[in-house]
Amino acid sequence: LAADTQAVLEVAGSGEVVYAFPADFRGRLAARSALFKYEAAIARAAETLNYAARVGFGGALFVSLAVVAAAGVALAVVMASAGEDDGG
């Protein structure tokens, strides 16, 4: 990373040796790395897919509850009409 962006080693005031990155650090890194170029787009796509999955799961859950409720009502209607049918 330091070599790709042409960072230099400096000594901090506390005596630590640290890398000093240039002001256009992201631009230099993007020029060297295809993944870094598309990282923001990949993050947005992942966020969108995550949201779509949550919405899809919620919709499927709602539909399944509606189907179970409809089946319960249909079963109750069938049972009620079977009890009224006395054969004649």
What HEC string does the chain produce? CHHHHCCEEEECCCCCEEEECCCCHHHHHHHHCHHHHHHHHHHHHHHHHHHHHHHHHHHHHHHHHHHHHHHHHHHHHHHHHHHHCCCC
CA 58 to CA 53: how far, in whole Å?
A: 9
Provide the pLDDT for residue 33: 73
pLDDT digits (tens, 9 = 90+) for 25-76: 777 777 777 777 788 888 999 999 999 999 999 999 999 999 999 999 999 9
Per-residue pLDDT at 4 exceeds 60? yes
CA 72 to CA 70: how far, in whole Å?
A: 5
Provide the pLDDT for residue 41: 87
